[in-house]
Amino acid sequence: MDGRDATAAEATDDELLLFDDQPRADVTAAAQPWRVLVVDDDDQVHLVTRFALADVRYGGQGLLLLQARSAAQAREILSSDPAIALILLDVVMETDDAGLKLARWVREELGNRNVRIILRTGQPGQAPERQVILDYDINDYKSKAELTAQRLFTAVISSLRSYEQLLSIDSSRIGLEKILAATSWLYEKRSISQFVEGVILQIRALVGDAEGALMCTLADRGDVHSHSVRIIAGQAPFALEKGGTIGAQLSGPVCDSILTAMRTQQPQYEADRCVISFQTREYVASAVYLYGHKTLGPVERNLLEVFAANVAAGFDKVYLFEKLAHDAVHDRLTNLRSRASLVDAIDEAARTHREGGSPAALLVLDFDRFRDINDDLGYGGGDQFLALMAQRLLADLSPGEIAARLGGDAFAVLAPGISTQQAALAHAERLRRVLCAPAHITGREVIPSISIGAAFVGGDMRRAEEVLSDADATMDKAKRLGGGRTAMFDPVPPRPSLGRLSLVSDLSRAIHRNELRLHYQPIVSTKTRRVAGFEALIRWQHPERGLVPPNTFISVVESTGLIVPMGEWVLAEAARQVSDWHQRLPEAKDLFIGVNVSARQFVGNDLVSRVKRVLADTPVAAHHLKLEITESLIMEDPALAIEELKRLRELGIKLSLDDFGTGYSSLSYLHQFPIDTLKIDRSFVSAMLTRRETMVVMQSICSLARNLGMTIVAEGAETEAEVEALAELGCDFIQGFIFSRPVPAEEAEALVRAMAVT
């Protein structure tokens, strides 16, 4: 640290900057002085240099001289300060060629290609070989006697100029890579809302993050005004109401710059904020960044505009996709869901019920004497009538409910969470009140009347079509009885098969009754094809329902807090199991074990002391334990999470980022997380061979992870072709059905014996 301390004493600038590990993408914009490192063992030279360069300015900025008195000290400073622009380097110091060695170290080991180097020696006879000058990209070589103040000035300015050029080339290249990765990632988004969130996320990354961002749009081609432009997405710190107008939610000056950007199609830049507009066929949208992105230099502005142009095309594509998807499941006339889409929803509701949710009610409604309406008002009038009824229905739907048009004048409503006959009938009456208010169609008043048939979804194994035809037949019955009434198909609603309540109480007993099991899925080294470790995955051996997979109960367990004791059990049991293997199986002594951790365990429940306790109670080495956490867990409160992760890491345990790519895909944040391993989500692995964009994203994820020194695990490989592609991409480990499904401990042990461990 001596070198750093010595430097700090010299520095006139805010020293905190030295610790900023981000390479400075655009020095001119950052308004920082140029950092020049003077390396010389002669104090006199330092003094003279300071004097000679005291008033030098380039590009509006002065110099900040850092000093090192030996090559060793210089190495320390260079390692911790990537923003040094120029080294004035004495050749002869500790040894005759200490300076040359340092130059080689800078280029070859430190890998810093940008910093400029001017060599200086005491005597003219010590000139280095030409080859050295070429190989180590030395800018200038002068004997100290030759270097008058004027010459030094000229050499320094020309070096700074070339440093600046190198930097801007570098940041364009990095920026373009980011854009490529970001756009292909974005193009996988299938809904406007996902796409928009993605655009904001990626733009934040491009400008090196901003404190807040929002996007707004003018959906139809009307005039651009503060009351016509609406906010469609906002990210912290904006707790903005989506769909609200900018006029109602933003301050006057902010509105003005958004409107200017949209009207002129010109980006608006201010010191720490900017507005970029996207011109698309279907949408005119703007993204606004407020507060705290650093001032953008010309390179960054340029990149941002390239990105915006790329994204604009994406908007139309996603919009079209969403529209097609919407049309496929919606009825044209009424904008209600189509029959086929309702059938899917009924199946889904039945599944939810089987997995412990409450039953749902299906109500089929048909307008009494619709034929008369058609006859009196004509088909056009009949259509208007249906469209109006659909509007009323949609306006009245509660969240989670679905309304569909079955054909003709028959509508249906699927209402989840209805578990008694009384509730179903009450719901039918509500629909009747909403729909049967007088309607005015082509100047005539119509008083609608409806017949309703209701059936329950769930309970038994009836298929959706059967439930639908039961409800339909019941509606017919209501109609035959004179119409204007409701009939029930099921005399008794289905009992909750395993309702949430009983699920919760069953689960809390499961721990004590010893019904929880861990299965182990091998994680195999790509190179050796041997088992390197396992992931512990929980199962619930339910007395009636058999082996229950985690996806059906983890969310319940998380929402009730039961996850804390359950997670503690998982951790202890997994540690016990792996330490048992370590002790008994010679081929298993290096096996690691991955354990999943949920958000609820993580924050406020002192995971650190729980892990400590497990390490104390079990003879397992800390580095054999890997906690798997997800991005969403970190992103809930990044600062807090990073602190907690660091504390965990201090215990010596390893950390994996699980399901990477499904959540925030925060490529740009990744370097801030203290993470050892990246687990790339199965969705990437299964798509990468068929979707070129996915492969591109995989490549960027892998190269980034490698650069950050992380180990890469790919999840969900099912074919040999995938394994080969993953090996090619440089994944270190693979976890997937191709090697084995998660299996009980005895079978896992057999796998270890069979495959042998690395």
- Give burial (CB, 10 Å; 0-12/13-18/19+) of 649: middle
Length of the chain counted residue by residue: 758
Rule CB under 6 A: choose which of 596, 656, 668, 694 binds ligand C2E: 596
Q: How far is the CB of 226 from ligand C2E (least distance, A)?
A: 44
Q: How far apart are CA 620 and CA 128, in angstroms?
A: 56
Q: Is residue 715 close enough to count as binding ligand C2E by CB under 6 A?
A: yes
Q: How far is the CB of 259 from Mg ion (least distance, A)?
A: 44
Q: Segment near ligand C2E (CB under 6 A), from 58-66, 128-136, 202-210, 546-554?
A: 546-554
Rule CB under 6 A: choose which of 32, 338, 598, 711 binds ligand C2E: 598
Q: How far apart are CA 278 and CA 286, in angstroms?
A: 6
Q: Is residue 735 close enough to count as binding ligand C2E by CB under 6 A?
A: yes
Q: How far is the CB of 717 from ligand C2E (least distance, A)?
A: 6
Q: Is residue 737 close enough to count as binding ligand C2E by CB under 6 A?
A: yes
Rule CB under 6 A: choose which of 470, 628, 732, 749 binds ligand C2E: 628
Alpha carbon distances (Å) from 252 to 232, 243, 255 = 19, 18, 5
Q: How far is the CB of 659 from Mg ion (least distance, A)?
A: 4
Q: How far is the CB of 510 from Mg ion (least distance, A)?
A: 21
Chain positions 651 to 680 lying near Mg ion, rule: CB under 5 A, are 658-659
Query: By C-beta, is 72 or 554 nearer to ligand C2E?
Result: 554
Contacts 24+ apart (CB under 8 A), 106-112: 106/78, 106/136, 107/135, 107/136, 107/137, 110/75, 110/78, 110/79, 112/78, 112/82
Query: By C-beta, is 195 or 534 nearer to Mg ion?
Result: 534
Query: By C-beta, is 81 or 628 nearer to ligand C2E?
Result: 628
Q: Is residue 355 close enough to count as binding ligand C2E by CB under 6 A?
A: no
Q: Is residue 656 close enough to count as binding ligand C2E by CB under 6 A?
A: no
Chain positions 431 to 460 lying near Mg ion, rule: CB under 5 A, are none
Q: Is residue 718 close enough to count as binding ligand C2E by CB under 6 A?
A: yes
DSSP state of 105: I
Phi, psi of 292 (to 5 degrees): 60, 35
Work out what residue 661 binds among ligand C2E, Mg ion, none; the CB cut-off runs from 5 to 8 Å by kind.
none
Q: Segment near ligand C2E (CB under 6 A), from 58-66, 174-182, 415-423, 548-556?
A: 548-556
Q: How far apart are CA 726 and CA 732, in angstroms?
A: 9
Q: How crowded is residue 625: how many other Cβ atoms within 10 Å of its Cβ?
A: 26
Q: Is residue 631 close enough to count as binding Mg ion by CB under 5 A?
A: no
Q: How far apart are CA 405 and CA 393, in angstroms?
A: 11
Q: Segment near ligand C2E (CB under 6 A), from 225-233, 263-271, 401-409, 734-742?
A: 734-742
Q: Is residue 537 close enough to count as binding ligand C2E by CB under 6 A?
A: yes
536's CB contacts (< 8 A; 6+ apart) are 518, 519, 520, 570, 573, 574, 577, 593, 594, 595, 596
Query: By C-beta, is 130 or 512 nearer to ligand C2E?
Result: 512
Q: How far apart are CA 184 and CA 684, in angstroms?
A: 12
DSSP state of 679: E
Q: Is residue 659 close enough to count as binding ligand C2E by CB under 6 A?
A: yes
DSSP string, 344-368: HHHHHHHHHHHTTPPPEEEEEEEET
CA 146, 148, 150, 154 dihedral sign is: positive
Picking from 353, 448, 349, 325, the residue whose alpha carbon sits closest to that of residue 401 is: 349
- Start-to-end CA span in the chain (Å): 39
Q: Which 3 state secondary structure label does DSSP give 33? A: coil
Give the per-residue contact string, 489-528, with ligand C2E (x = CB under 6 A; - = no).
Answer: --------------------------------x-------
Chain positions 704 to 743 lying near Mg ion, rule: CB under 5 A, are 715
Work out what residue 401 binds among Mg ion, ligand C2E, none; the CB cut-off runs from 5 to 8 Å by kind.
none
Q: Is residue 636 close enough to count as binding ligand C2E by CB under 6 A?
A: no
Q: How far is the CB of 46 from ligand C2E (least distance, A)?
A: 57
149-186 vs 192-206: helix crossing angle, rounded to 10? 170
The pair of structure tokens assigned to 616 is 């104390």
Query: By C-beta, is 11 or 556 nearer to ligand C2E?
Result: 556
Work out what residue 551 binds among ligand C2E, Mg ion, none; the CB cut-off runs from 5 to 8 Å by kind.
ligand C2E
DSSP state of 280: -
Query: By C-beta, is 164 or 715 nearer to Mg ion?
Result: 715
Q: How far apart are CA 41 and CA 94, in angstroms?
A: 8
Q: Is residue 628 close enough to count as binding Mg ion by CB under 5 A?
A: yes
Rule CB under 6 A: choose which of 179, 455, 736, 757 binds ligand C2E: 736
Query: By C-beta, is 102 or 607 nearer to ligand C2E?
Result: 607
Q: How far is the CB of 534 from Mg ion (least distance, A)?
A: 11
Query: By C-beta, is 367 or 602 nearer to Mg ion?
Result: 602
Q: How far is the CB of 681 from ligand C2E (least distance, A)?
A: 7
Q: Is residue 596 close enough to count as binding Mg ion by CB under 5 A?
A: yes
Q: Is residue 742 close enough to count as binding ligand C2E by CB under 6 A?
A: yes
Q: Is residue 257 close enough to count as binding ligand C2E by CB under 6 A?
A: no
Q: Segment near ligand C2E (CB under 6 A), from 330-338, 361-369, 489-497, 714-722?
A: 714-722
The pair of structure tokens assigned to 638 is 């990044």
Q: Is residue 366 close enough to count as binding Mg ion by CB under 5 A?
A: no
Q: Is residue 550 close enough to count as binding ligand C2E by CB under 6 A?
A: yes
Q: How far is the CB of 712 from ligand C2E (least distance, A)?
A: 15
Alpha carbon distances (Å) from 21 to 9, 24, 442, 602 = 21, 9, 70, 27
Beta bridge partners of 90: 120
Specify the residue for token string 């009245």.
396
Q: Is residue 740 close enough to count as binding ligand C2E by CB under 6 A?
A: no
Q: Segment near ligand C2E (CB under 6 A), from 303-311, 483-491, 549-557, 661-669?
A: 549-557
Question: What is the helix (H) or strand (E) element at residue 373, kind and residue range?
Answer: helix 370-396
Number of residues located near ligand C2E, criterion CB under 6 A: 23
DSSP string, 556-606: HHHHHTTHHHHHHHHHHHHHHHHHHHHHH-GGGTT-EEEEE--HHHHTTTT
Work out what residue 388 binds among Mg ion, ligand C2E, none; the CB cut-off runs from 5 to 8 Å by kind.
none
Q: Segment near ligand C2E (CB under 6 A), from 68-76, 303-311, 415-423, 711-719?
A: 711-719
Q: Which 3 state secondary structure label does DSSP give 545? A: coil
Contact 377, 386 (CB under 8 A): no
Strands 733-735 vs 711-715: parallel, antiparallel or unpaired = parallel
Amino acid at 502: S
- Binding site residues, ligand C2E, CB under 6 A: 521, 537-538, 549-551, 554, 567, 570, 596, 598, 628, 658-659, 682, 715-718, 735-737, 742
- Binding site residues, Mg ion, CB under 5 A: 596, 628, 658-659, 715
